[in-house]
Amino acid sequence: DVLAPRSDVVCRNDKVVFVHSQMYVDLCNNLAKVPGRASAVHGLIEAYGLTKELRLVEPRPATVAELTSFHSTDYIHHLRKASAEEDEEKDIDVSEEFGLCYDCPILPGVYEYAAMVAGATLTAAQCLIDGECQVAINWHGGWHHAKKDEASGFCYVNDPVLAILRLRERFSKVLYIDLDLHHGDGVEDAFCCTSRVMTLSLHKFDTGFFPGTGDIQDTGMGRGRYYTVNVPLRDGIQDSQYFSVFNKVVSQTESSYRPEAVVLQLGADGMSGDPMGCFNLTPQGLGRCLELVLDWKLPTLLLGGGGYHVGNTARCWTSLTAQVLGKSLPPDIPEHEHFTEYGPDYELGISPGNRVNHNSDEYIEEVINTVSENLAHVM
């Protein structure tokens, strides 16, 4: 049965679902941490003619009931109330209650934004459950730090958790893979005590680096022991080493866990040139990771996440969208509304920087061996 899909969800349509509407892009443009990124991403995907190859599905906002399938009612009600208040009425609420301050300020309309992002990710997950597609994409989702009752790290609602909970209604085992520069702590916390969801995160792990969790010995608790996998990495890692550790760890994870569906968070803040300035990856490196997951032919949900160089994030997610479609793209950025974002080279490719790599081969070897020993307990 190696070739047979592992679940009885037969995909009736091989079109890739791409959740999109202009209103959704506008909302994300204005309220996400990276203003204007949403339209740059969509603009480049459209400029390369990929939207014609995709099945565009309009998002709808998540309901309170859907949001509170993970988040607390108090938190969601507070978010909705605070979001609705006009500036002048609102006493300057810098209370740290619910984490709504500093990195996650209460901006007018932030509730509508968060509910729409969550609704978009749930729309994508539903298409997979209904067998409408094998791959569904929401590049404006992937907000992996939000906790049950707390906004965190630019994340107000944890849409990956909501999607996994929805997928679990249909699939007995769901694998979550997080390739953002930062540890996917909110998703790990949500599922650390269950073996029904396996969370695997490759991320930078270093003293004082946000969020500070995700060390290699954090492997889950109780029935979830060994179903949390953390791959802590250092600054400067490049595609080849990154894919090498990804390939070894994720292949062993898939063969031992045998998931029925996959959620893949593809935050682009590990790209060379990102203002975070940590990893030294290119879209080719993430693309090799994506290829490995797509080869499993499982229902797969692709999400975005971080990515603070607008042009490079659009380059990355456009390249990955083309890869899902099996299309190769011409190297020169097509003329379009956001063309100036791509200067001075105006090319699709991103080259690695010549930065110091703090991941020795010995370190990588040791990480792989430790993770492999832990995975031996997974059945």
Binding partner of residue 341 among ligand NHB, Zn ion, none, CB under 5 to 8 Å per kind? none
CA distances (Å), origin 214, targets 190, 279, 361: 14, 16, 20
Q: Using the minimum distance from each CB to ligand NHB, give the nearer residue, 148 or 336.
A: 148
Binding partner of residue 242 among ligand NHB, Zn ion, none, CB under 5 to 8 Å per kind? none
Piece in contact with ligand NHB (CB under 6 A), picked from 119-127, 225-233, 269-277, 330-338: 269-277
The reply on whether position 181 binds Zn ion by CB under 5 A is yes
**279: Cβ–Cβ under 8 A, 6 or more apart, which residues?**
181, 204, 233, 235, 236, 237, 242, 270, 271, 272
Which of 71, 145, 309, 338 is catalytic? The answer is: 145
Question: Contact at 8 Å (CB) between 171 and 120?
Answer: no
Piece in contact with ligand NHB (CB under 6 A), picked from 43-51, 53-61, 158-166, 267-275: 267-275
Which of 272, 266, 313 has its CA nearest to residue 287?
A: 266
Q: Is beta strand 135-138 parallel, antiparallel or unpaired with respect to 17-19?
A: parallel
**Interface of this chain with ligand NHB, residues 98 to 127, rule: CB under 6 A:** 103
Contacting residue, 46, 66, 178, 180, with Zn ion by CB under 5 A: 180
Q: Using the minimum distance from each CB to Zn ion, give the nearer residue, 103 or 149.
A: 103
Q: Using the minimum distance from each CB to Zn ion, give the nearer residue, 200 or 298.
A: 200
How many Å apart are CA 205 and CA 270, to the nearest integer?
A: 13
Q: Which two tokens stand for residue 375?
A: 């995975």
Piece in contact with Zn ion (CB under 5 A), picked from 119-127, 178-186, 253-261, 340-348: 178-186
How many Å apart are CA 184 and CA 177, to the nearest integer?
A: 9
Question: Contact at 8 Å (CB) between 122 and 101?
Answer: no
Q: Using the minimum distance from each CB to Zn ion, give the nearer residue, 261 or 266.
A: 266
**270: Cβ–Cβ under 8 A, 6 or more apart, which residues?**
179, 180, 181, 204, 276, 278, 279, 281, 286
- Number of residues in contact with ligand NHB, rule: CB under 6 A? 13
Contacting residue, 159, 269, 274, 341, with Zn ion by CB under 5 A: 269
Is 20 annotated as catalytic? Answer: no
Catalytic residues: 145
Interface residues toward ligand NHB, by CB under 6 A: 103, 145, 153-154, 180, 182, 210, 267, 269, 275-276, 305-306
